[in-house]
Amino acid sequence: MRAEIRLPTQELRDDLPFFTKTLQMRLDTIYPADDPEVAVLSGHGLRVRIEKGAPEPPGTIRILTDDPDGFAAGERELVAPNGTRIEIDELNPPMVMPDTEHAFVVRRLADQAPWVIGRAGMSYRDLIPTRLGGAMIASHIRVPDGPVPDMVHFHRVGFQLIFCVGGWVDVVYEDQGGPLRLHPGDCFIQPPQIRHRVLEVGEGIEVIEIGVPAEHITEIDHQMTLPTPTVDPEREWDGQRFVHNIGATGKHMPFRLPGFEARDTTINENTKSVASVMVARPTGDRVPWTRHDCDILFNFVMAGSMILEGEGKQPFQLSRGDAFVIPPGMSTCYSAISDDLQLLEVSLPGAFSTTVVEAPNNKIES
């Protein structure tokens, strides 16, 4: 069994030199011999049937190559004699990390942010609608109970986090042995391009997924079978190691914010400070106004409640399921904190400074 894409032509003899020489495709079939009207060519993972008088429009062919400047004499866009457009592009283009468009963002579950159906039947809720100019996506994800119709895949990302806030989920990863289970408070860091597959989820599963940059490619790997026969917990992908952090075994230490303590998920260490992921809780001491110099500082309320005060902003009453982003240089304060408050804080980069400041004369923006 095989498949062909049909393209029209008015004169086949004009197209053959272009497709065989310029595009470096192989001629497989041509007929009739005395006055050819059909030619089938193959190359670059594609079979093309060029047929005289075919009713389709010419279409577009994209050719991806490791050497786009050396292919087709460096031309990136060409037009075949039959009108087919040819686009030449890089097979593995470098990842583009957009500059962060800093903004103060509050996303509350009570405001009925829409849930949408995404990959593998999962429901997604967007926690940062602006995506900070494309710098980051943060999603609150729910999955129907039971086996997940997932395939072995990977993501072309700079950083990716999966943090469980409810239920459980089983995932299998390249070179990490058999299936691993996340419970509430546990997390995975998925290094760039590590192959993995979601296997099954339990009742009430909810995870927070962070991806940098916001728009990144997911590719299916049809060749790899998981689990792999090798186990290599020290392996690195683009300088990052896989992390399976278990919340129940973590120890709380003093946090960057006075009045809080936090447990470190080891992600700062294992990404070489690309990012840090902390779980913070109040100590009962006074929490002052502070500002930070971090590029991206994202928080998700996992339990409890608080009021988020921001310089020049109306206070926001926050509870479980709410999320917020504090831009660098903005003075903020957490107040009216419940004893059971738990915050998931994700920062990029992993190391940054926090400064205690005086409470501002808080003139509210109109």
- Residue 199 sits in a domain whose CATH number is 2.60.120.10
CA distance 165 to 340: 15
Output the pLDDT for position 96. 84
- Residue 110 is inside which H or E element, if any? none
pLDDT (0 to 100) of residue 118 = 59
Q: What is the pLDDT of residues 153-179, one digit of tens each?
A: 999 999 999 999 999 999 999 999 999
Query: Are residues 229 and 185 part of one domain?
Result: yes
The reported pLDDT for the residue numbered 232 is 97
Which pLDDT value is given to residue 365? Answer: 61
**Pair type for strands 240-241 and 289-292:** unpaired
Last residue of a domain, one of 215, 244, 273: 244
204/139 same-domain check: yes
199 contacts 149 by C-beta, under 8 angstroms: no
Domain range spanning residue 32?
5-90
Q: How far is CA 43 from CA 26, 40, 72, 91, 284, in A?
A: 6, 11, 14, 15, 67
pLDDT at 142: 86
- By C-alpha distance, which of 199, 210, 174 is closest to 300? 210
What are 105's two structure tokens?
């963002």
User: Using alpha carbons only, how large is the chain's radius of gyration in Å?
Assistant: 26
For the chain, the maximum distance between any two Cα atoms, rounded to a whole number of angstroms, is 92
Q: Tokens 């400070």, residue?
A: 273
Residues 279, 189 share a domain: no
| Total of domains in the chain | 3
In the predicted model, residues of the chain with pLDDT beneath 70 are: 112-114, 116-121, 363-366
Are 71 and 146 in the same domain?
no
